Structure 1
Amino acid sequence: MEAIKKIVIVGGGTSGWMAAAALANAKSTIPLDITLIESSQIGTIGVGEGSTPYLKHFMASLGFSEADWMTRCDASFKTGIYFDDWSEPGSRYFHPFYTSFDVKPAEVFFHLANARRRGAGPHTIGDDFFLTGQLAQMNLAPKPHKPLPVEVEYGYHFDAAKLARVLKQYALDKGVTHLVDEVIATELMQDGNVAKLTLESEEALSADFFIDASGFRAVLIEKALDVDFESFSTELINDAAVAVSTNIDLQQTKHYTTSKALSAGWMWQIPLTSRAGNGYVYSSAHLTQAEAEQELAAELDIDPTTVDFKHLKMKVGMRSSPWTKNVLAIGLAHSFVEPLEATALMVTQWSIESFVKVLTTTKFVETQTESRATFNQQLSQLVLGVKEYIHAHYVTSQRRDSSYWQQVTSKTHIQPRLASMLSCWRSGQDFDALLYRFDAELAYFSPSWYVLLAGMDYRDDKLCMPHNTLDPQFIAKAQGYFKQIALTHFGKAAA
């Protein structure tokens, strides 16, 4: 295979245009002819999206000012996610974005969490011990108006369709060719690589490399190359979602996402500057579409007969070989893990940036096989790590109030690594040592695991082990550490 000079992207949306923008930005390093084929028949379902801090760095790498792209995408700042009713009805904990500011206060939280699981202390959640946790409690945007010595990590809420349009314009301005057409046939070479695509307009389009961003249709990776899809349905049984937008009071805009456990899944609430995105991710084996609409409407206190519900089917799993031959599958064509921790765009971004790095920093022809194997292994590890963390939300829950919760809390299909982590935590053993041993394989760092397991109060309540105590004044000082910082540096909401 010769050096890549021409790339065709099949599919638009956020994933396709993100790839086009990143590749167009790389043209200063290597010359590339980039074409994106977008179907006129596939619309983008705007349900309100949340991101991790990873998106912040991606947009900055393209040269966007934060204020510019956020305004165009109805975006708001995100400090993290509140999880309501997950452990049991009435429970709540917060998953923050961890910054270097948090190191010392977080150590106090880790100590208290370890004491609790060993039966030597009260239930403690991490909200007070992380900067973004404090900002969420005070409902302050995580954008400081006074300078800080460290960078604050935060995410965004945004309109995905509008973000795709922003990235589209960026890519077009940098010379990406845009075709509105349908792929009706794919021709393979003798070695199994894709040679060319036949379009509905009868145009034949050849390239050195193809990116499949065609969503669940997986036009190239599945239909042309027949790469298997590994389902996660034994661990994650949710396979449907219903979404609806509601009006929002700008004076009451929240700077966090809310995930609330319901009878057969969970609902999200994402505050944009123009509206609130709401949805219910559920198992169709336990709930009909009509029942899901009724339950979501009741939670939002709206009349279900007066709103436009959007229904989505979810295919949860991944391609174990997303880069096969001269095709790279990204976005939904590659994988989907239910959006509980807003990781979908992060995985897509990792795929694109890692591929661009391979393309621009190695002798691609000589190292293609090795690079492809490493890429696939690392990406699969990332997705499996995300799946593992999502699954932990269910199997640590104490809810048994419906057949759904009785099924998802079962540990029948739990993977060995997660089982050993939960066993270690519940039995009072050295959890940090185990995390250190697994560190290179995990998608989430130790603060996230502590926040989840302590927040869910996952423990053996019969356990009684000795644990060092801390001075209550020292604990109070750690809990109050961020309050003055929040008032001084974030007391005025960012514009």
Structure 2
Amino acid sequence: MKKINRIVIVGGGTSGWMAAAALSNKLSVDQFEITLIESSRIGTIGVGEGSTPYLKHFMHSLGFQESDWMSRCDASYKNGIYFDNWNGDKNRYFHPFYFSLDVKPAEVFFNCANARRRGIGPHINGDNFFISGHLAQQHLSPIADKTLPAQAEYGYHFDAAKLAGVLSDLSCSRGVKHISADVIDVNQDDGGDVISLVLDDGGEIQGDHFIDASGFNALLIGKTLQVPFEPFGDELLNDAAVTVSTPRETREKLATYTQSKAMSAGWMWRIPLTSRTGNGYVYSSQYLSKEQAEDELAAELNLDASTVNFRHINMKVGMRSKPWSRNVVAIGLSHGFIEPLEATALMITQWSIEYFIQLLMEVETPNEQCRDKFNTEMTRLMLGVKEYVHGHYVTSKRRDSDYWRKATSEESISLRLSALLAKWKSGEDFDEFLHCNERDMAYFRPSWYALLAGMDYRDESLVMVHQMLDPNLIEQAQGYSKTVAEKYFNE
């Protein structure tokens, strides 16, 4: 590999501009020439998007205060995700954002969950043991009115197209060159490295290294370098989505959580923005037609489907086997996509960008070892996220349609997820399993407990010895989280 001085990003949108912003923030624009080529004919899928807490740290690293960008992106706060009807019995559980003040009450919840799976305790969801759970229940912002002993963790809901605009403004102000054009041809050297891009305006852009942020089109990593795509369709059935925005009900307090509700052939999201509510139905086209998906989503939203302008999205679920190939790094959808159930798309994009920059700063000239490390870590992350998302389906008790009978099948389950679920269901030491596999897990202890306890996943015939906690201690733990929420958060 040769020394990198010129970095060219192909594709704008949220992923491309995240890369441009991070690169111009970390690397000296006097030393590196950064160019982003964006087609004016390809729009961003701005249907209302959610994030994990990693986006908060990303925006802060760029120098943003929340007041700088949230109002420009119709953004609201996100304390976690409510999962409704995933067992088909109107059940509801909460996936919280966990931080240090949750440690002690969370341990009580973990004990209760272990008692339940061992057959000697009642079904208890985790929301009341986490501060973010109480904030979500009361529609409270995670911004404390008083000084907290520890920093709260939270995510956001936002308009993805507007966030891309904010990052574009920042990047260009820091020296990133923005070209509005379509790439019509790619030139490679004799070894296969990309050396230049031919544009439809007659221009040609040369570069030392290229970042493919061209979405599912995967112009460089797929069409040019022919890096294989590994589909996840055997495990994750959903390959389509239909979306529609609805007006925000201003008389009601703005929700501070994402809602995910299981449907006949997938699930629907509701994402509250300050300007509107983003709604979408993620489904499998093998089991539902576009028209059926529209009708089912409209019925849930009390809309007349014949009068609604729906938007349809085809999803390519899977990943590139080697997202860094030759002198091209694929990020965002060109790298891979796992359905949006846990809002992980931007998190994976962020990790890709930041790890690439880290490797770039460690060596003067990227080498084969850098590339191998990147590909190993990104593959580990993608597989870890895929397993957690797949866990939502295979733990469900639903068998009420062909879709759910297939989605809950364990025929194509990964060996690690199968072992994890077996450890939980058998009543054995689940925490030891998590510890031993920590390096390969994208999600950690609180998330797995929230999912498995929330779904009440267990062997109902199992009865094992378990040291039960004093009921007063359980009540105190829930009361502690509620007290902290009420004491520090009022708006």
- TM-score normalised by the shorter chain: which range applies? over 0.9
Q: Secondary structure at the match of 2:442?
A: coil
**Alignment gaps of 5+ in structure 2:** none
Alpha-carbon separation, structure 1, partners of 2:307 and 2:385:
37
Whether 2:42 is the aligned partner of 1:58: answer no
Q: Secondary structure at the match of 2:70?
A: helix
8 Å CA contact 2:8–2:209 kept in 1: the answer is yes
Name the structure 1 match of 2:447.
Answer: 448
1:16 partner letter: G
Amino-acid identity (%): 60
Q: Secondary structure at the match of 1:235?
A: coil
Name the structure 1 match of 2:407.
Answer: 408
Deviations 1:368-409 (A, max 9, x none): 211110011001100100000000000000001111001100
Q: Secondary structure at the match of 1:81?
A: strand
Deviations 1:307-355 (A, max 9, x none): 2110000000001200111100000000100000000000000011111
Alpha-carbon separation, structure 2, partners of 1:200 and 1:111:
62
Deviating more after overlay: 261-270 vs 32-41: 32-41
Alpha-carbon separation, structure 2, partners of 1:431 and 1:335:
30
8 Å CA contact 1:87–1:457 kept in 2: the answer is no
Alpha-carbon separation, structure 1, partners of 2:113 and 2:23:
44
Q: Secondary structure at the match of 1:37?
A: strand
Q: Secondary structure at the match of 2:190?
A: coil
Name the structure 1 match of 2:386.
Answer: 387
Change (3 A) 1:456 1:30: farther
Aligned 1:85-484 pairs, distance under 5 A: 85-250=85-250, 251-360=252-361, 362-365=362-365, 367-484=366-483
Deviations 1:25-46 (A, max 9, x none): 1233872111111111111121
1:402 partner letter: S
Q: TM-score, normalized by length of structure 2?
A: 0.98
1:170 partner letter: L
Aligned 1:26-45 pairs, distance under 5 A: 26-28=26-28, 31-45=31-45
- RMSD, aligned CA: 1.0
Q: Secondary structure at the match of 2:223?
A: coil
Q: TM-score, normalized by length of structure 1?
A: 0.98
Whether 2:71 is the aligned partner of 1:68: answer no
Q: Secondary structure at the match of 1:280?
A: strand
State the Cα distance separating 1:190 from its structure 2 match: 1.2
Name the structure 2 match of 1:9.
Answer: 9
Q: How many residues align?
A: 490
State the Cα distance separating 1:249 from its structure 2 match: 2.0
State the Cα distance separating 1:364 from its structure 2 match: 3.3
Deviations 1:85-123 (A, max 9, x none): 012221000000010111110000000000000100100
Deviations 1:226-262 (A, max 9, x none): 0000000000010000000001123421000000000
Alpha-carbon separation, structure 2, partners of 1:7 and 1:378:
22
8 Å CA contact 1:8–1:209 kept in 2: the answer is yes
Alpha-carbon separation, structure 1, partners of 2:416 and 2:29:
41
8 Å CA contact 1:358–1:364 kept in 2: the answer is no
Alpha-carbon separation, structure 2, partners of 1:214 and 1:82:
32
Deviating more after overlay: 41-50 vs 227-236: 41-50
1:209 partner letter: H
1:418 partner letter: L
**Alignment gaps of 5+ in structure 1:** none
8 Å CA contact 2:29–2:174 kept in 1: the answer is no
Alpha-carbon separation, structure 2, partners of 1:29 and 1:397:
51
Alpha-carbon separation, structure 2, partners of 1:2 and 1:232:
34
8 Å CA contact 2:102–2:481 kept in 1: the answer is no
8 Å CA contact 2:82–2:259 kept in 1: the answer is yes
Alpha-carbon separation, structure 2, partners of 1:5 and 1:213:
19
1:149 partner letter: P
Alpha-carbon separation, structure 1, partners of 2:88 and 2:216:
34
State the Cα distance separating 1:272 from its structure 2 match: 0.2
Alpha-carbon separation, structure 2, partners of 1:308 and 1:481:
46
1:381 partner letter: R
State the Cα distance separating 1:184 from its structure 2 match: 0.9
